[in-house]
Amino acid sequence: MPGPGAEGIVMLNSRHTLATILVAAAAALVPASAIRASNDITDTVRQLASDGADLVIEEQALLADTAPASATPLSELEAVRAQLRSVDAQGRSVLDQLERLDIELTGAILVALDRLPTLDASEGQEPALQPPPGVVYEAAAADLLRISATPEVVTPSIDHQQHPAVSLLVVAVLALLVLGAFALGSTMRHRRTSKELAAMAWSDGLTGLANRRRLDFDLLPGSIGCDPTAVIMVDVDHFKSVNDSFGHKKGDEVLRVIGIMLANQIRFEDVVYRYGGEEFCILLPNSSTDDARQIADRILRAARQITLPDGQHVTVSVGIAASVKGDVGTAVESADHALFEAKDLGRDQMVTAAQANLVES
């Protein structure tokens, strides 16, 4: 490839010289304490992320040891449960510290490091843990290790009020951009893009499930490639009354438990998405309406086992559709309309697109 002409070389050199002078001048004004503080925060984030990844992996292993089918003797099982409670508390502590540092965290990290949700138990019984599915732990560990490897990508800048000289550096950078310092400008844009990409999560921040952005991506032509693909839409009945009666914190906890319940009812190849609010979407590749009905029936029964503080049980409404021509997006819309039909018929039930007189794609 031919190099730039003489005029281009002069322009690039002049821009580079100007960038060097301004950045050097601004850097000279930045106190050494600001640099040390920045390094200290980066090191702290690196260590917290590494510790968090270890705790996520340990918690998942301990949960496997406390599973009902475990052959661990009762005395050892109690010790494992005690260790699990300790690891769970440590994970929440790491999460609190990362949030206080204003670190951008993925939904999987938020769910995996948070306290394990429980189902309310009868008097005298220990509440049953509702751990996130394994894929959430695996995603969280991978995300935390990524942060540990490149903490500077997610670490916020030093506070400008504490270090006014840093603001001068920003002014210098803006001056370079105004003057057309292409080389420096492209570098800054690249760093910003890297940060945005690092923060871009495919998981929902509350439940750790796949989010609406991921669903929109998966619905792009050719993304799924399975025919037929069944769709299940799930909506929590009377969810507004949960928030009104018990507060949004309890409402968020209910949504997390619902998300975990859904993930535990589907097959390995199926994917659960938080569609929005209290509505969820499930894609079932290579599945028919009948396949979806079987899973939906399990979902309806499992939801009724979730107890609210007043002793009432959660119920959900379900809509089902299937794509037979590869147009999964239309199947999602049909399942959503069938869901509203289920709510109109009294909730706590499933309705298929055929029953709702909707045309499946």
Same domain, yes or no: 272 and 328: yes
pLDDT in tens, 72-105: 566 677 788 888 888 889 999 999 999 888 888 8
Same domain, yes or no: 256 and 305: yes
pLDDT band at 2 (very low <50, low <70, confident <90, very high): very low
Residue 302 lies in a domain: yes
**Per-residue pLDDT for 35 more than 60?**
no
**Per-residue pLDDT for 294 more than 90?**
yes
Which pLDDT score is estimated for 122?
55
Instruction: Give residue 128's Cα distance to chain centre.
Output: 24
Same domain, yes or no: 25 and 131: no
pLDDT in tens, 102-152: 888 888 888 889 988 876 555 556 667 778 878 788 888 888 887 888 787
Task: Find residue 285's DSSP bridge partners.
Answer: 229
Out of 144, 174, 199, a domain closes at: 199
* 202 and 142 Cβ atoms separated by less than 8 Å: no
Same domain, yes or no: 234 and 329: yes
In a 3-state reduction of DSSP, which class is residue 235?
Answer: strand
Respond yes or no: is residue 59 known to be catalytic.
Answer: no
Residue 247 lies in a domain: yes
**pTM of the model as a whole:** 0.53
Mean per-residue pLDDT, 309-332: 91
Mean per-residue pLDDT, 241-256: 92
Same domain, yes or no: 24 and 170: yes
Which pLDDT score is estimated for 123?
56
Which pLDDT score is estimated for 240?
94
Catalytic residue among 59, 278, 341, 360: 278
Q: What are phi and psi of 185, to 5 degrees?
A: -60, -45
Same domain, yes or no: 346 and 219: yes
pLDDT band at 171 (very low <50, low <70, confident <90, very high): very low
Residue in the block written with tokens 């699990």: 84
pLDDT in tens, 40-62: 788 888 899 889 999 999 888 88
Domain holding 332: CATH number? 3.30.70.270
- For 92, the token pair is 């929440």
Report which of residues 234 and 14 the model is more confident about.
Answer: 234
**Per-residue pLDDT for 27 more than 90?**
no
Same domain, yes or no: 96 and 41: yes
**Per-residue pLDDT for 217 more than 60?**
yes
68 is in which domain, residue-wise?
A: 34-152
Same domain, yes or no: 230 and 341: yes
**Per-residue pLDDT for 308 more than 70?**
yes
pLDDT band at 343 (very low <50, low <70, confident <90, very high): very high
**Per-residue pLDDT for 6 more than 60?**
no
pLDDT band at 19 (very low <50, low <70, confident <90, very high): very low
* 296 and 305 Cβ atoms separated by less than 8 Å: no
Instruction: Work out the mean pLDDT of the chain and round it to a whole number.
Output: 76
Report which of residues 115 and 169 the model is more confident about.
Answer: 115
pLDDT above 90 coverage of the chain, percent: 32
Residues 6+ apart with CB under 8 A from 339: 233, 234, 235, 279, 317, 318, 319, 351
Which pLDDT score is estimated for 94?
92
Same domain, yes or no: 220 and 246: yes
Residue-wise DSSP of 121-164: --TTSPPEE-PPPHHHHHHHHHHHHHHHH-GGGTPPPPPTTT-H
Report which of residues 224 and 259 the model is more confident about.
Answer: 259
Residue 41 lies in a domain: yes
d(CA 145, CA 52): 9
Residue 361 lies in a domain: no
Report which of residues 342 and 63 the model is more confident about.
Answer: 342
Out of 152, 174, 189, a domain closes at: 152
Residue 358 lies in a domain: no
Residue 341 lies in a domain: yes
Apex CA 349: angle with CA 264 and CA 296, to 5°?
A: 30
Residue 1 lies in a domain: no
Same domain, yes or no: 69 and 124: yes
Which pLDDT score is estimated for 274?
94
Residue 206 lies in a domain: no
Question: How many domains does the chain fold into?
Answer: 3
d(CA 291, CA 71): 33
In a 3-state reduction of DSSP, which class is residue 305?
Answer: coil
Q: How many helices (H) and strands (E) does the chain have?
A: 12, 7
Which pLDDT score is estimated for 346?
95
Which pLDDT score is estimated for 190?
40
Same domain, yes or no: 194 and 261: no
Same domain, yes or no: 117 and 195: no
Task: Find residue 210's DSSP bridge partners.
Answer: 203, 273
